[in-house]
Structure 1
Amino acid sequence: MPNTNIPVITIDGPTASGKGTVAHKVADRLGFHLLDSGALYRLTALSALRRGTDLRDEHALAKVAEHLTIRFHGGHVYLGTEEVSNAIREEEVGNTASKIAALPGVRQALYGLQLSFRQTPGLVADGRDMGTVIFPGAQLKVFLTASVEARAQRRYKQLIDKGFSANMDDLLADLQSRDARDTQRAVAPLMPAEGAHILDTSQMTADEAVEQVLAWYAHP
């Protein structure tokens, strides 16, 4: 069983709200481990797409999730021995991840893996249901949000900086459909956890958001 005395900070929020960047910086400042739970779903999606798994077959997708060999190291993500940080950020993978994340069998298959990231000296967990489902007893719960327009701008810049092509109208439509899927799914819908601090980052830099999260952690 995981040690519930090990501190956990959960940072949940919609796609492109900046939670990944903020979580990474908070973990770095505190010397904590980092769990990018979204990457687990993206890794499942990437693996399923590569294997040609039927995306309507919940049992087969859960098996893919159960047998992932993954590693996070120095800001890089590995599937087996392959570095896949960029591959899991492709739009097809992200869209597939959002769809399979609605499947109870896949979520259950990844549940224990996520709990295993709780190690000393502490953990910053970033995702959709970190504070509501995976770590409901976390010392600090944050729900990061931003307007869909601000999030589309961030995603556009992210993709262009990485050398991918991007279309703003397509990104807006994609974010709106992902938001609808994430908030309306029957299992672990996207919503602020009980007692969560709400942080709207539409007009904030990542560093300003980090300072706010650290202030909340220092003075609960």
Structure 2
Amino acid sequence: MTKITIAIDGFSSTGKSTVAKQLAKHLGYVYVDTGAMYRAVTFYAMQKKLISTKAFDVASLIKQLPNIRVHFVFNEDVGFAEVYLNDLNVETEIRSLDVSSFVSKVAAISEVRQKLVEQQQKLGAEKGVVMDGRDIGTVVFPDAELKLFMTASAETRAKRRYDELLERGDRVAYEAVLKNVQERDYIDSNREDSPLMKADDAIEIDNSNMSLKEQFDKILHLVNITLTNVK
């Protein structure tokens, strides 16, 4: 049976991970949340006090990269693979607003990107993978058979993220979440190494006014067309 690589890029809180998980489960593909990998490295830097609102010890983080191992372990109870940092499940910890406030700065470090891109390419070497992030279609898998670029207004994305954090029990203000979304957009789009951009052959999906079902059905239709064309 033909398998393809599906690369999903886009801005933060556009639902990339949600639809990627749905597709992977439906197709029986491997799902890789590359954003979670950068969040795990960021969490490591925070735990080691290498990054804060006042300083970022980039040199020390680079030196410690060989000590950082990020991998995924499938959890049958939740139905998807959770993120592990050096054998510790950090799936919940890496989703905090504190981690979100630093992750774009960590992801801008070339040495960090090189380490994680190598891991990502190994995970998708056999195809049959759905991978989401910021540079999957442009850097990690430029030859992916299907590339999607997810977008929505900053306000829409901030509201989604705000509701998600409240549901988790986090005490946050909408204004703080919106500011974080806008700052991440700027850093992700303007970094020197692998900036966030739409690949020339990517299909743009603006899901500002789409339900989760409408989004999934539209993307699954694109997947089926792609599978037909590569046979």
TM-score normalized with structure 1 length: 0.92
- Unaligned segments of structure 2, at least 5 residues: 227-231
Q: How many aligned residue pairs are there?
A: 216
What is the aligned partner in structure 2 of residue 211 from structure 1? 217
- 2: CA distance between counterparts of 1:27 and 1:183? 27
- 1: CA distance between counterparts of 2:64 and 2:40? 10
- 2: CA distance between counterparts of 1:143 and 1:168? 25
2:139 to 133, 152, 157: 133
What is the aligned partner in structure 2 of residue 13 from structure 1? 10
How big is each residue's C-alpha offset from its partner over 1:64-107, in whole Å with a ceiling of 9 and x where there is no partner?
Answer: 44432333223322223322111001111122111111111211
Distance of aligned partners of 1:68 and 1:207 in 2 relative to their CA distance in 1, 3 Å threshold: farther
Task: Write the mapping of 1:101-120 to structure 2, written as runs, cut at 5 A.
Answer: 101-118=107-124, 120=126
| 1:120 CA drift (Å) | 4.5
Task: Write the mapping of 1:62-77 to structure 2, written as runs, cut at 5 A.
Answer: 62-72=62-72, 73-74=74-75, 75=80, 76-77=82-83
User: Stretches of 4+ moved more than 4 A in 1?
Assistant: none
> In 2, are the aligned partners of 1:17 and 1:144 still within 8 Å (CA)?
yes
Distance of aligned partners of 1:65 and 1:144 in 2 relative to their CA distance in 1, 3 Å threshold: farther
What is the aligned partner in structure 2 of residue 44 from structure 1? 41
Task: Write the mapping of 1:125-164 to structure 2, written as runs, cut at 5 A.
Answer: 125-164=131-170
Task: Write the mapping of 1:27-42 to structure 2, written as runs, cut at 5 A.
Answer: 27-42=24-39
| 1:173 CA drift (Å) | 1.2
Identity of aligned residues (%): 37
- 2: CA distance between counterparts of 1:65 and 1:28? 32
> In 1, are the aligned partners of 2:5 and 2:127 still within 8 Å (CA)?
no
> In 2, are the aligned partners of 1:65 and 1:110 still within 8 Å (CA)?
no
| 1:51 CA drift (Å) | 1.5
| 1:56 CA drift (Å) | 3.3
| 1:6 CA drift (Å) | 5.7
| 1:32 CA drift (Å) | 0.4
> In 2, are the aligned partners of 1:66 and 1:110 still within 8 Å (CA)?
no
